[in-house]
Amino acid sequence: MGKSKTIPARLSVLILALVLAFAFAGCGPKDENKPKPLMFDAEEASVKAETIDYYWSGDVKYDCFIIKQNGKYGTMDKNGKTVSEPAHENVGINMIYDEKSGATKWGLTLADNDYTDLYYVEANGEVSAVSPNGIGFEDRCEVYWTPEGPIMLIYEIDSSSEVELNFNTYYSYQFITSDAFMSFPGRKDISRVIPVREVTEMNYQQNGDTGMAVPVYKSEKYGLFDFDTKKMLTDFVYDDCTRFAVGGVFAAKKDGKWGYVSDSGKEITGFYFEASFPVEEYESSVRRMFLPVNGYIVTKKDGKYGMINALGETVADNDFDYLSQVSPDGIFWAYKDGKWSRCTPKI
């Protein structure tokens, strides 16, 4: 029989040391100063603006961004070139009659003189020479884009309007204000999960010749409820909640901070964000949360802006002074240290 081969003791110790070194690699203290890899590409641009924003309506696919300079609004293309000089007092998504095309559509508008002069914005950012006729609630509307179609939120309508109450009109009342109303143009496969509060009883109240059932809530807390299965997906744990899911995502508030929850009840992020955009409401202003536009969400934390995708993954940390939402071409604008950059998400 041949002799068995043995490894010298000194070599054995060396091999063991190498194995342990590889096994515990990365388990020591992390270098917090090491820069994190950016989840977006950025190119600095010579753009001067107070803010740059992206808007999307249901009827027009916009290739332009809205810029604000010296308190006035205009348009620029996706490369940062001014298309229409900032000269208007207001901007919004409105239903207008376009005299050029002879059609009523949802579109981007610029306005002057408290909306008495309203101008239609073309897809490329050019402003219509003819002032279209508005329909009366241009300063009370927000439009969000979802994968299923546009969602329109109107803050004020004629209180005499009557709507049959069913799921399709569930969102018709008590959204942002007591008279608020919501409709879903082109509704298709919209999430049938809704935010609800726990009710202990219903009291009937007479109001002149009419009456209505008024709920008595157990608390002010919200939970998510599946309209089809009639089952709660979450407990009643949220202080506030957006009344609809965009792209399957709700914004919810807990312990004074906001976060994001999927329409399956899964918490996508923690609760550490601040309300991120102003909403005009009966001559006052409240703060609400951005919801997904083209799959991305602008967030705000400690006064700084950042971005996540609809899965909750971080695209940009919250260290920017301003961020636009993402266009269909995958472009957003970021402002930091007095400079604007044209950016594209990687995830």
Domain count, the chain: 2
Tell me: do 69 and 176 sit in the same domain: yes
Tokens of 280: 């005009």
Q: If you ran DSSP here, which 8-state letter would residue 244 be given? A: S
Q: Which helix (H) or strand (E) holds 13?
A: helix 9-23
User: The pTM is what?
Assistant: 0.75
Question: 171 by DSSP, 3-state: which?
Answer: helix
Q: Which residues, listed in sequence order, are joined to residue 335 by a DSSP beta bridge?
A: 322, 340
Q: Let me know whether 179 and 75 are in one domain.
A: yes
Residuewise pLDDT in 10s, the chain (347 residues): 444 455 555 555 555 554 444 444 444 444 555 556 779 899 999 999 999 999 877 678 889 999 999 999 999 999 999 999 999 998 887 777 777 777 777 788 898 877 678 888 999 999 986 666 665 555 556 666 554 455 555 554 444 444 444 444 433 333 333 334 444 444 455 677 888 888 787 777 777 777 766 778 888 898 998 877 888 999 999 998 887 788 889 999 999 999 999 999 999 999 999 988 765 544 455 667 888 888 899 999 999 999 999 999 999 999 999 999 999 899 999 999 999 999 999 98
The reported pLDDT for the residue numbered 327 is: 92
Tell me the sheet residues that pair with 286.
279
The side-by-side arrangement of strands in the sheet containing 240-241 is 240-241, 249-254, 257-262
Tell me how far apart the terminal alpha carbons of the chain are, to the nearest angstrom: 63
Same domain (yes/no): 203, 270:
yes
Domain encompassing residue 107? 55-190
In a domain, 12, yes or no: no
Looking at residue 75, its pLDDT comes to 97
- The pLDDT of residue 139 is 56
Cβ-based neighbour number of residue 17 at 10 Å: 10
Do 139 and 197 belong together in one domain? no
| Same structural domain, 120 and 238 | no
In a domain, 317, yes or no: no
**Shared-domain flag, residues 144 and 162:** yes
CA atoms within 13 A on the CB side of 164: 3
One domain for residues 157 and 200: no
- Report whether 275 contacts 281 (CB < 8 A): no
Q: Which residue has the tokens 């001559």?
A: 283
Same domain? 158 vs 219 = no
The DSSP result for 271-330, as a single string, is S-BPP-EEEEETTEEEEE----BTTEEEEEETTEEEEEETTS-EEEEEEESEEPPPPTTS
